[in-house]
Structure 1
Amino acid sequence: MCGINGIISGTIQDKEARIKAMNSRLSHRGPDDEGQWVEGVAALGHRRLSIIDLSEAGHQPMISACGRYVMVFNGEIYNYADLRQRFNYPYRSQTDSEVVLAAWSEMGHKCVELFNGMFAIAVWDKQEKTLTLVRDRLGIKPIYWCHTPEAFCFSSEIRALTTSNLISGKLDEASVVDFLRYQTVQAPDTILKDVHLMVPGTILRYELSSNQTGVETYWSPFRAGKKTPESYEEVKREVRRLFFKAVERRLVADVPFGAFLSGGIDSSAIVGAMAKVSNRQVDTFNITFSEDDFSEAPYARHVAKMHKTNHHEIHLKPEDFLQMIPDALAAMDHPSGDGPNTWVVSKMTKEAGITMALSGLGGDELFGGYPIFNRMVTLEQRKWLWHLPLSLRKAAGKALMALKPGVASTKVMRLMTMKNYHFEEAFAISRQALMDPQLAGILRSSSLPEHNPVRWLRQNKVNETGEVLSRVSVAEMTTYMQNVLLRDSDQMSMAHALEVRVPFLDHELVEYVLSLPDAFKRPVTPKKLLVDSLPDLLPDYIVNRPKMGFVFPWRDWLKGVMHDFADQRIRTLAQREMFYEPGVLDIWHRFLKGDPSVTFSRVWPLVVLEETIRSLGQ
């Protein structure tokens, strides 16, 4: 795992100094090695975290044997050993990076369709004077880019782009609204006006002669096919085969590795499969809290004992977390409402001597682990409600809010006031943090921009993806998962030079599960298809436990030990030009008083946003 940088410009003369500065800004991503390559209009930089072939032969930027291509690569290609035999190439290392370069030398960018893995690839073609960027199918590894009058540049992180002094670093106000709605900014936008995030499964090509960019899609979950298996038994066998294959592929490493273990279904399945296919004892890591309501320790201990892992419990007190918060926020390359959770577990895992860890991220999205799956099925079955008069629906919504005030009732009210039922809008409402009336009360703007998830899902015709459960999976994967969970996983784990691998996002497993009819996937019990496929790994004690998710006791902490920290930042944000101060402070005070419609996830993003603005020097 690494960090990559690049600048293409025919006018900038100090590209070498700039690329070195960008590399230095990414030192946390790659402490093992660094390299620069500068020739004519192009400059490429690389920071290396050595995982496969730890020798100097893996140094990047890497130049092809023919001398035409120069590459920087971030990620892992899990099937590289098989691909290595396919290409007649004078290899000088045992790295997966050189296999990428060998494949590119023979096939050009079409080779990416052969790769199973997570990757961000940049290749400069010295002959054609073109730069090609590739992002992996599910968006596990990021590539940020900007195109200014002076240059085209890219990086693994936004902060390296700002270090280049080639971008303005100005906030995009529409993206600020997107962040407050959804605790992130949806790709291809970012919090900055002139910086973009490559969409997963795409290839971007920049041509120097025309100074133009073009983007093509090589893979998309929106294009999932449809299968009609013969039986449920056949489906279970195939899910099990693909899952074990995905885990086994991700155990290839020349460094110590382990797994995050919450004791939930997803992480327990990962650890169980690791224990079966690995030839060494598995290291597992679990965070415990003083607040018993948030501690998953007993479940994690059960799984660890079951599979005889070398289990590590990390006990976290509020005071400990408060001390870590400034560093966690400083490590946040792009604002997120959920990042510190991953920062803490990554820090503790790395300090235990682990360089690579497997995570259960993606299991909920693929196998229907969130309540929204059944909720969306119910809404689809009750579309007739939107044929009732709007006045009647409003009255019903208001009655529910009066009877049971809170976030859920607020969202039902918003659903009831839609003119017509639309899958995209209903899904977006379920994922929204601050609702539009709340935003109108804290922003000075008289109008709010379009909802990006709604636009994105309509643009990609999510309604043509398949049956309801597959549509929800695709919507979750391409919004919340990619733009919150995976972004957090990358930036917060790499802050500690820890590589995180996600077997549930093996594209072969994803394609198969998305192709299945709803009849095989309906989560009548928690993640039924996954559990039925792995009965030996998932005992009833784990399957039927209360679902908690990996969350910290934010509500208690923000009202207690973290109150002053949050209060100071929220008050500063409230005074900024974009915000209406009384409205912001009202949201904060209502949270502190226990208003059920203002949960911690509505106020914590305000703290994060202020930290982001400060980090930009604004």
Structure 2
Amino acid sequence: MCGINGIFSHSKQTYIPQVTNMNKAMEHRGPDDHGIWSAEGITLGHQRLSIIDLSSAGHQPMSTPNGNLTIVFNGEIYNFEEIKKELNYPFTSHSDTEVILAAWQQWGIKCLDKLNGMFAFAIWDEQQKKITLVRDRLGIKPLYYYYNNKTLVFSSEIRSILASNLVPKAIDTTGIGDYLRYQTVQAPNTILKDIFMVEPGTYIAIQTDNLSLKKEKWWHIDHCSLNVPDTYNEIKEEVRKQFYDSVKRRLVADVPFGAFLSGGIDSSAVVGAMSKVSNRQVKTFNISFAEKEFSEAKYASHIAKLHQTDHTEIQLSPNDFLQHLPQALNSIDHPSGDGPNTWMVSKATKDAGITMALSGLGGDELFGGYAIFNRMAKLEGNKSLWKLPLPLRKLSGTLLQKVKPGVASDKLNALLNLDKYDFISQYAISRQVLLDNKVNELLSYNINQEHLPIELIKNYHLGNKEVLSRVSISEISTYMQNVLLRDSDQMSMAHALEVRVPFLDHELVEFMLSVPDRFKYPTSPKKLLVDSLKDLLPDYIVNREKMGFVFPWSEWLKKDLYALADHHINALANRSYFNYNALTKLWKEFNSNNPSVTYSRIWPLVVLNHWMEKNGIV
């Protein structure tokens, strides 16, 4: 796990000072080693966090013996040893980086189909004078870029791109609108104008003699259509096999490792499987709170005892959190409504001497763990409701808001106001943090009516998918990739901690997206996963109320964090693209316990202004 960056230019200029600055801006991602390589028109930089082959032989940037190919790589290839056996190459290291180089030399872009892992890399072809940026199938590792038809600047982090001093710090007002809607900006866009993300399962390429940027998908999540067994028992066996295989792959490391353990189904499954396949005692880490209604410590402790892990519980008070919050906020590379929780558990894990940890992220998206799965299935089953006259539906929605005010009623009213039933529009509204009417109130300009998630999902071929797989694809492609995975990366790498996610093994993902709804409908919490791993998931864990890994934000924002939040809300309200009266009114409504203004409507605004101040964005 590392940080990569580079600058490519159609001129013959090199950019060693700029890439040196870019490396320094992300030293936290790779404190073990650093390197810069340069040739005419291309300069590559790397910060290394050593996980596999800790020797100097794994130094990057790395080139082939003939000097034709040079790579900077961030991530892990779990099956690199198997791929290595297929290659005729004079290997000088035991690193997966060198395997990618050899595979690219032998098979070119087709080598991507063989890689099982999480990765983002850039590879320079000296003969073709061509730079190619590649991102893994599920978007586990980030990769940002700026291109002005003359110069390409790319990096694992936006801050590093800005450190080049070649890219303007200009806010994207469309991105602001979508950030308010979804507490993030969906790839390929970012919060900044002209800075983009390489999309998951995509590569981009530019050649010196051609100004155009070529972008192609090399893996398609909507094309997953495998032959699956006919019976539930056979499907359970396959889920179990693939899950165990995935966990086992992710235990390959030359450094101490552990796992995040919340005490929920997903993290408990990961820890249970680790304890079965690892030849050493598993180290587990849990954050607990003084506020017992938010604490999952007792469940985590139960799983730790069941699997005899070396367990560490970190209890947080508001004072603890306040002490670390400035550092957590400073670690945010792209603003988001989530993240400090991962920062805290990552810090504790790294402080305990762990360099790599496994996480249960992705289990909800694959096995129907979120309420949105049932909600979308119910909407699909009742889509005839949208055949009723629009005035009648509008009246019903308005009455519901008056009788039962709150976020759920606000969203149902918005759904009833749609002209017709449409899965994509229904999904997008269900996932919004702030609805369009509220966003328009908060901003001094009218937002684009098109939602990035809608545009993204429209490009998928979902017509042949059943509703639960459609929801899984939508969740993976929006909320998971652009909130959960991005936050997991930036907050863990702030501590030089690598996080691996067994549920996002692409083979398991492809299988689960091919399983018919009748086998995975969540009549009980993540039923198919639980039934497949019964020995790892006791009833005590399965049948408890789902809490999720959250902090008691509402209470903290109104008390311990009030001064911080008040400063950033008022500073944001004074920016030209916000409506001062509307934004300060929203803050007052939150503090007056308005049920339609929850903490998740406020905290992203605090983060946004802090990030803009920190990065000098006006």
- Pick the TM interval, shorter chain: over 0.9
Alignment partners' CA distance in 2, 1:489 and 1:97: 23
Indicate the residue corresponding to 2:470 in structure 1. 471
Alignment partners' CA distance in 1, 2:351 and 2:414: 46
Alignment partners' CA distance in 2, 1:10 and 1:205: 13
- Secondary structure at 2:27 match in 1: coil
Alignment partners' CA distance in 1, 2:273 and 2:46: 34
Alignment partners' CA distance in 1, 2:10 and 2:376: 52
Alignment partners' CA distance in 2, 1:169 and 1:406: 37
Residue type at the aligned position of 1:285:
F
Indicate the residue corresponding to 1:34 in structure 2. 34
Alignment partners' CA distance in 1, 2:227 and 2:181: 36
Greater than 4 Å deviation, 4+ residue runs: none
Alignment partners' CA distance in 2, 1:564 and 1:578: 23
Indicate the residue corresponding to 2:231 in structure 1. 231
The answer for unaligned runs of 5 or more in structure 2 is none
> 1:92-491 to 2 correspondence within 5 Å?
92-464=92-464, 466-491=465-490
Shift of 1:255: 0.4
> 1:563-578 to 2 correspondence within 5 Å?
563-578=562-577
Q: Is the 8 A contact 1:76 1:96 kept in 2?
A: yes
Q: Is the 8 A contact 2:365 2:472 kept in 1?
A: yes
Shift of 1:269: 0.2
Task: Provide, for residues 60-119 of structure 1, a one-character-per-residue CA deviation record: whole Å limited to 9, x for no partner.
Answer: 000012321000110000001111111011110111111111111111121011000000
Indicate the residue corresponding to 2:597 in structure 1. 598
Q: Is 1:65 aligned to 2:80, yes or no?
A: no
Q: Is the 8 A contact 1:34 1:48 kept in 2?
A: yes
Shift of 1:216: 1.1
Q: Is the 8 A contact 1:573 1:579 kept in 2?
A: yes
Indicate the residue corresponding to 2:608 in structure 1. 609
Deviates further, 14-23 or 111-120: 14-23
Task: Provide, for residues 277-323 of structure 1, a one-character-per-residue CA deviation record: whole Å limited to 9, x for no partner.
Answer: 00000000000001011000000000000000000000111011112
Shift of 1:446: 3.5
Alignment partners' CA distance in 2, 1:243 and 1:177: 38
Shift of 1:212: 1.4
Residue type at the aligned position of 1:440:
N
Residue type at the aligned position of 1:571:
N
Alignment partners' CA distance in 1, 2:82 and 2:147: 37
Indicate the residue corresponding to 1:87 in structure 2. 87
- Secondary structure at 1:122 match in 2: strand
Shift of 1:134: 0.8
- Secondary structure at 1:241 match in 2: helix
Residue type at the aligned position of 1:522:
Y
Task: Provide, for residues 167-221 of structure 1, a one-character-per-residue CA deviation record: whole Å limited to 9, x for no partner.
Answer: 1010000001111100000000001101000110011111111121111111121
Q: Is the 8 A contact 1:504 1:510 kept in 2?
A: yes
Shift of 1:340: 1.0
Q: Is the 8 A contact 2:226 2:510 kept in 1?
A: no
Q: Is the 8 A contact 1:148 1:166 kept in 2?
A: no
Shift of 1:447: 4.5
Alignment partners' CA distance in 2, 1:266 and 1:119: 23
Task: Provide, for residues 473-525 of structure 1, a one-character-per-residue CA deviation record: whole Å limited to 9, x for no partner.
Answer: 00000000000000001111000000000000000000001001101110100
Q: Is the 8 A contact 2:150 2:211 kept in 1?
A: no
Shift of 1:324: 1.3
Alignment partners' CA distance in 1, 2:417 and 2:222: 28
- Secondary structure at 1:463 match in 2: coil
Q: Is the 8 A contact 2:443 2:579 kept in 1?
A: yes
Distance change >3 Å, CA 448–CA 319, structure 1 → 2? same
Q: Is the 8 A contact 1:144 1:196 kept in 2?
A: yes
Residue type at the aligned position of 1:599:
T
- Aligned residue pairs, count: 617
Residue type at the aligned position of 1:503:
P
Distance change >3 Å, CA 506–CA 227, structure 1 → 2? same
Q: Is the 8 A contact 1:12 1:150 kept in 2?
A: no
The answer for unaligned runs of 5 or more in structure 1 is none
Alignment partners' CA distance in 2, 1:27 and 1:616: 17
Shift of 1:150: 4.1
Q: Is the 8 A contact 1:172 1:191 kept in 2?
A: yes
Alignment partners' CA distance in 1, 2:102 and 2:66: 10
Indicate the residue corresponding to 1:504 in structure 2. 503
Alignment partners' CA distance in 2, 1:463 and 1:338: 32
Alignment partners' CA distance in 1, 2:70 and 2:294: 49
Shift of 1:582: 0.6
Alignment partners' CA distance in 1, 2:607 and 2:231: 49
- Secondary structure at 1:421 match in 2: coil
Distance change >3 Å, CA 312–CA 21, structure 1 → 2? same
Q: Is the 8 A contact 1:462 1:475 kept in 2?
A: no
Shift of 1:149: 4.7
Residue type at the aligned position of 2:541:
I
Shift of 1:13: 3.9
Distance change >3 Å, CA 13–CA 65, structure 1 → 2? closer
Q: Is 1:580 aligned to 2:579, yes or no?
A: yes
Alignment partners' CA distance in 2, 1:74 and 1:180: 30
Shift of 1:327: 1.0
Shift of 1:228: 4.7
Q: Is 1:544 aligned to 2:546, yes or no?
A: no
Q: Is the 8 A contact 1:470 1:514 kept in 2?
A: yes
Deviates further, 592-601 or 206-215: 206-215
Shift of 1:616: 2.7
Task: Provide, for residues 411-440 of structure 1, a one-character-per-residue CA deviation record: whole Å limited to 9, x for no partner.
Answer: 000000000011001111111001111112
Alignment partners' CA distance in 2, 1:463 and 1:341: 37
Indicate the residue corresponding to 2:533 in structure 1. 534
Shift of 1:14: 5.3
The percentage of counterpart residues that share the same residue type is 58
Shift of 1:462: 3.0
Q: Is the 8 A contact 2:228 2:511 kept in 1?
A: no
Q: Is the 8 A contact 1:264 1:299 kept in 2?
A: yes
Distance change >3 Å, CA 393–CA 226, structure 1 → 2? farther
Task: Provide, for residues 139-163 of structure 1, a one-character-per-residue CA deviation record: whole Å limited to 9, x for no partner.
Answer: 0001101112541121000111101
- Secondary structure at 1:402 match in 2: helix
Alignment partners' CA distance in 2, 1:331 and 1:12: 35
Q: Is the 8 A contact 1:135 1:200 kept in 2?
A: yes
Q: Is the 8 A contact 1:383 1:421 kept in 2?
A: yes
Residue type at the aligned position of 2:576:
E
Residue type at the aligned position of 2:433:
A
Q: Is the 8 A contact 2:228 2:235 kept in 1?
A: no
- Secondary structure at 2:513 match in 1: helix
Distance change >3 Å, CA 228–CA 31, structure 1 → 2? closer
Indicate the residue corresponding to 1:22 in structure 2. 22
TM-score (norm 1): 0.99
Residue type at the aligned position of 2:413:
M
Q: Is the 8 A contact 2:386 2:421 kept in 1?
A: yes
Q: Is the 8 A contact 1:148 1:167 kept in 2?
A: no
In angstroms, what is the RMSD of aligned CA positions? 1.0
Distance change >3 Å, CA 177–CA 14, structure 1 → 2? same
Alignment partners' CA distance in 2, 1:241 and 1:11: 52
Q: Is the 8 A contact 2:10 2:209 kept in 1?
A: no
Q: Is the 8 A contact 2:12 2:40 kept in 1?
A: no
